[in-house]
Each structure stands twice: as C-alpha cells, then as structure tokens.
Amino acid sequence: MVAYTELFSSFLRRNQIKLNEPMSRHTTFGIGGAADCFVMPETIEELQKVIVEVTKANVPFFILGGGANLLVRDKGIRGVVIYTGRLQSIIHEGNRLRVAAGVSTAKVAKTAMEHGLSGMEFAAGIPGSVGGAVVMNAGAYGGEMKDIIEKVYVLDENGAQLELDRDALDLGYRHSCIPEKKYIVTKVVLELVPRNEAEIRSEMKELNEKRAEKQPLQYPSAGSTFKRPEGYFAGKLIMDAGLRGYQVGGAQVSEKHCGFVINKGDATAADICQLMRDVSDKVQAQFGVVLEPEVKMIGEF
C-alpha cells in the first residue's frame, strides 16, 4: 500500500493531505465514496511537485476543481485526488483577467462586472471552478468559455508548464483537448470587453432569475445531466417520454426541469447511474435519439 502521507510530507503541510476522504463533501451532487488520498496544493509549484511524486510512484490521480458536472461512484477513488480549489488569484490587466484555476466561475463573473468587463455574464450561475469550465468549455444562455478564452496555462503529466492559445485547445460543444492530452489547468487568461457595470449587473440578475425559475437549484445535482443532442433538447425528450419525476432510490428526474437529475437527499451513485440508463433507454426506444451523458463518472462501484 502506498504511504501517501510520506509521499507528500516534504512539501505539503499535514492539513493539506487527507486519507479516506469522502468525495460526497466535494461534489455538487453530494454523492461519492472515499478517495484513498486527497491533497490540496496551494501554489502551482506545490501542484507540480504533487504531479512529479505521483508519476514517479506510478500512482493514479484525478484532478478535482469545484466538483460540478461530476459523479463519483459509491466505492470511491483509488489513488490520489488532487484538489485545485486552493489555487486562488485574479489579476486585472486592462480588458483581461488572469485567473487561477481554482477560482469559482461565479467569482470570476462578479470580478469582471466590478471592473466593467463583459463576457462572463452567462457563467455567473454556473457552479464549479473556472479551470473546470475551461476543460469542458462550459456554456449557458448563448455564451461559452471559448468566446472569451485568450490562453490557458497547463501542466503536462510530468509537471512541465505549457502555454496554449485558444486555437490549440480544440474547443467545441462541451469539449476541449485538455482531458485527452491529460493536461492540468493552472491559469486562464480571459479577454473581455468594456461595458457599463450597471448593465452587466442587470443582465446577470436577469439570467440568475431565469435559472432560479427554471432549474431545481434547491436540490443537489451536477447541472445538465445529458448533452444536447443535435436538433433536440434533452430535457424536452425526457419530458415527452413521460419521465418527469421518474425516480430510482434517492435519484429523481427533476419535476421542474427534466434535463436535471437530482439527489433527493439519500441518492447513491448507483441510483443515479441506473436512472440515467433507464432514461436513455426509454428516450432511444421512443424517439430513436441517443442521449450522451454530460456528467463525468469516475471511481469504483
């Protein structure tokens, strides 16, 4: 068995290393078994050292940001979960924001507004970190991260730093090359445009009111459960299949918005997965449309 504490103790404090950490504490679903080891580097240099050590020891690792768009299975995660949420800095440079990966998308949107910079309004209500938003090219209400990214700084599997411009990221619908190339986002530079702060605030308020009206924000979820099939809306297909309120254990298709699967309070990852399979099978049987999960699933059953 790997002596995880010894692996990192030369450069991380003891309170930056947790063993058998329940992942339910770190996902917006509020679901997930324990990670063997959970580490919380506070600087890019510490993150680099963590990557070097796990690579040298041949230990599997997973990079965790804000825990949105993620389902951790019930037996948890073998190896090391590397939490980037302590990488926290925002530097304002003219029309640009230079943002560390762990900063929440909501905080970035608020900071942009305070500097009279427009472009992040769509992301004000998106949960999770800006690093995660870059990885999946998060979007809502007609905006996407690819519209505002100028460049991204990443580490490769060996801890070497790379700088990628927007074109190198292969950004598409809920896609970037970052997972395929096993890169780890450390910073992103956002290029925004000047706009009156009051107008930005008004638009963000309007979008957040729309979210509250249409989405089941009072329940834990991972956001939209399925990707949007070309030519369709996943939520409408699920509703038309008669699955509004459909439940497996503690998991339920939201009655408010059928595109969301929610944790009613005691859902397991197995409940969520079974419900997703049922929904996908019934939609395909009725409409011939294959629903592809937007939620990333990791860990063991």
For residues 250, 253, 256, 258, the Cα torsion angle rounded to the nearest 10 degrees is 160
Q: Which residue among 21, 46, 144, 294 is the active-site one?
A: 294
Of the candidates 65, 68, 64, 63, the one whose C-alpha atom is nearest the C-alpha of residue 29 is 68
Q: Which residue among 98, 166, 174, 211 is the active-site one?
A: 174
> Which strand (E) or helix (H) includes residue 205?
helix 197-214
- Catalytic residue status for 224: yes
**Would you call 188 exposed, middle or buried from its count of C-beta atoms within 10 A (0-12, 13-18, 19+)?**
buried
Residue 180: how many CB atoms within 10 A of its CB? Answer: 9
State how far the Cα of 232 lies from the Cα of 72, in Å rounded to an integer: 28
Query: Which region holds residue 119: left if phi is over 0, alpha if psi is between -120 and 50, else beta?
Result: left
Q: Where are the extended beta strands (E) located within the chain?
A: 17-22, 34-39, 61-64, 70-72, 77-83, 90-93, 96-100, 117-118, 139-140, 143-144, 149-155, 161-165, 184-191, 193-194, 221-224, 247-248, 251-253, 260-263, 296-298
- Catalytic residue status for 166: no
- Catalytic residue status for 24: no
Query: Which region holds residue 66: left if phi is over 0, alpha if psi is between -120 and 50, else beta?
Result: alpha
State how far the Cα of 19 lies from the Cα of 35, in Å rounded to an integer: 7
Q: What count of residues does the chain have?
A: 301
User: In this structure, are residues 280 and 234 in contact, taking their beta carbons and an 8 Å threshold?
Assistant: no
Of the candidates 2, 122, 118, 101, the one whose C-alpha atom is nearest the C-alpha of residue 43 is 101
State how far the Cα of 103 lies from the Cα of 106, in Å rounded to an integer: 8
Name the residues annotated as catalytic. 174, 224, 294
